[in-house]
Structure 1
């Protein structure tokens, strides 16, 4: 590669590895500008609802705002959704064109309206995703045409991601906050395919230009010769193709990146072909698992280790030491996975909730298996010779989630039965916790070795007494700290959010606790177990219902 190409590759590499110069910080403390969003800028707290609230709430308080516009903003604030975000955008655009507004207000309304399509897209609007994709594509073309390939690439990558989102309207699907950076990084391989295709197209266009020149009598004069003579300005023989630049820009990253997926279930040709009626009942091993037979399942990417630790600590500050240890597993990781780990602490300190927080931070699906009272080894699969034959719990999860990496939580492992007459959960777990053996675990239901090496296992225990040595040896033991009194506001907010989710209500119906309610809780909860605090919070929420005015 020439020195010019190397310099271009180095500049692009710097932007790819550190896009904050154009896309804004990874963890914004305030809503980013529209120009940052074009390159894949993040939402505050990686949550479109939080970000939209921060954009609209100050506007709703401004003097001189038309009444219908203020109503639309309040609806988007109290009931955030793709629909309310879109209505608020339209109201803002209509209002900013009115005459007689206070100085500066029209500009503020317009800038807010520019941001709302990003919130609507994140909340599931296919139409908004298509619009912001077109916006990023237009910016990408501007930069690529100006030879600023680094910014052009970031904008193109964002455009392709949102174009993918625009294929399906998910406005009715429950929104789950997650970092956009992780999705963009996961999209690199697909976007790279586009880049290589563009390079091939450019070569084909050059061949057509050369053939045209020959047909017009310019035999012996290629398109690149004409460009150097000034007939085709902008073409430079020394300038590499986009695909070549990107290949040179990230050799180490691409080399460490795994294949797009992992084959979990191999060929099932050794099993009998199921009859149609059996296929409908799904009671044949081959019929049940043929959907993922011999097919690579996606490996979801590892989040940024620092972002993972900080996001976890923001949700549960007392768990910062736990998240910081787990984050070490993500440094240079080709996909999201942590070592088999045990969370140990006294009862009621939120170990199961900690597993959920870890899975959320990793961006992975979670399957929780209650070990209390488990008296057999069915976790590791059951032969189909029995009427209750089934695949192992991790294998069933891979089938249900359609991915190769996810989190399996084993709750209260010390309470599982030590009796081995029907097998033992503690024994069944052992091969899953060793990386090498997990690559070829024999599943008795499908009578084949399956690859479950990408699965993350977290077990919880109040004590390790009674847990056999071979199982302890395979687990990293982490003491889970208890929340302290100063963590009450965050803990209470988390509990109220759980209550809202259980009741299917939004914040307008079950708002967070106010200062008086928190003060009342502080008098009765001094840290430690979350169970009594949960009962206190439920009592407060129930008291609101009783005291609410009836109309």
Structure 2
């Protein structure tokens, strides 16, 4: 057993004695490290030992990626800290190691997204390219640079963001900035208010115990510009910039939080209406409109979305009459329906089909 790691002039009695050690062939045997060290000190190991050493030394699996989100200056033993943790139950877990969802295979990620959004193949290649670079440089967890998806209403920007999170198996939430008069939905509220709550990224992290969710802020070009109660664009600037994201100060918990692992996707119809400073910190990607040949893919996508919403299989949904499907196909090909309108019409058709099934049973 030890021929491949012992020098040729090692006494035969040494190999015999090694074979007599109980459990020596078990890679989890804690004595194996000491045995190998002894052989090395005695000069009995071959110059390039291979084979058996790998099987004798038990290698602990690499721990999953994790990070500390809350680096609180308060100690949990302090009365003030205990009061904070009790009031905001669950957030204390973020002061320990918080799990990071692992990096998906970039090639598989690209394939999955392109199959669901074939009209977005170019921007998907850019997104997957970011993951390929990060994986090449050793990043073990999923993270994307801030993205600004720009395109007409109904081209699938929000659904693309949701699928980007889904295929990476990271938590996802979306927030509409359209018409928002303040930043509370994103930044939370300061402690002292009766309804105080931490910022949205920390809320998502606490809910899922994962430090690298994907957050989508929709219609950022329609956010209110008044600074009276805080602009959502100003808050985003501090959350997505790497220099400030690592030390984002949460006014509710009154401590710095590390938001650097959060992936941000912003959507807009018009990039020129997005705050210039915010736009400069994002990778701007133009989302094209799907073409008539993409009807089948879109039909599959909206059908799967409905099935997922109700927690059923696609086969459990009411079957749409062929003439309805063809009517939808014609409207889509003529440009009368965008992807969002298509989803609304599809749902109405499902409702009508469910009613027809009920009448048929009665």
In which range does the TM-score fall when normalised by the shorter chain?
0.7 to 0.9
Displaced runs of 4 or more, over 4 A: 204-207, 243-247, 511-517
Cα shift readout 1:475-529 (whole Å, capped 9, x = no counterpart): 1110111111111111112112222333444333316657654323222222561
In structure 2, C-alpha distance between the alignment counterparts of 1:350 and 1:244, rounded to whole Å: 54
Q: 2:97 aligns with which of 296, 304, 313?
A: 296
Give the C-alpha shift of residue 244 in structure 1: 8.2
Asked if 2 retains the 8 angstrom alpha-carbon contact of 1:414 and 1:466, the reply is yes
Q: Which residues of 2 match residues 259-338 of structure 1 at below 5 A?
A: 260-267=65-72, 269=74, 273=79, 284-285=87-88, 287-293=89-95, 295-331=96-132, 332-333=134-135, 334=139, 335-338=141-144
Give the C-alpha shift of residue 199 in structure 1: 5.3
Task: Give TM-score scaled by structure 1 length.
Answer: 0.52
Give the C-alpha shift of residue 547 in structure 1: 3.4
Give the C-alpha shift of residue 357 in structure 1: 0.8
1:547–1:423 Cα change, 3 Å: closer
For 2:165, the equivalent position in structure 1 comes to 359
In structure 1, C-alpha distance between the alignment counterparts of 2:57 and 2:30, rounded to whole Å: 16
Asked if 1 retains the 8 angstrom alpha-carbon contact of 2:28 and 2:57, the reply is no
Asked if 1 retains the 8 angstrom alpha-carbon contact of 2:318 and 2:353, the reply is no
Give the C-alpha shift of residue 388 in structure 1: 2.9
In structure 1, C-alpha distance between the alignment counterparts of 2:176 and 2:190, rounded to whole Å: 21
Higher mean alpha-carbon deviation, 439-448 vs 530-539, is at 530-539
Give the C-alpha shift of residue 450 in structure 1: 1.1
Q: Name the Cα RMSD after superposition.
A: 3.4
Give the C-alpha shift of residue 455 in structure 1: 0.5
In structure 2, C-alpha distance between the alignment counterparts of 1:539 and 1:447, rounded to whole Å: 47
1:238–1:347 Cα change, 3 Å: closer
Asked if 2 retains the 8 angstrom alpha-carbon contact of 1:268 and 1:290, the reply is no
- What secondary structure is seen at the aligned counterpart in 2 of 1:442? strand
In structure 1, C-alpha distance between the alignment counterparts of 2:282 and 2:191, rounded to whole Å: 31
For 1:550, the equivalent position in structure 2 comes to 361
1:200–1:438 Cα change, 3 Å: farther
1:199–1:508 Cα change, 3 Å: closer
Q: Which residues of 2 match residues 104-183 of structure 1 at below 5 A?
A: none
- Name whichever structure is richer in helix by fraction: 1
- How many residues in Structure 1 have an aligned counterpart in Structure 2? 320
1:432–1:240 Cα change, 3 Å: farther
**5+ residue gaps, structure 2:** 6-25
Q: Which residues of 2 match residues 61-80 of structure 1 at below 5 A?
A: none
**5+ residue gaps, structure 1:** 6-196, 211-221, 226-236, 248-253
In structure 1, C-alpha distance between the alignment counterparts of 2:347 and 2:255, rounded to whole Å: 48
Q: 1:441 aligns with which of 230, 245, 248?
A: 248
For 1:239, the equivalent position in structure 2 comes to 51
Whether 2:343 is the aligned partner of 1:534: answer yes
Asked if 2 retains the 8 angstrom alpha-carbon contact of 1:384 and 1:445, the reply is yes
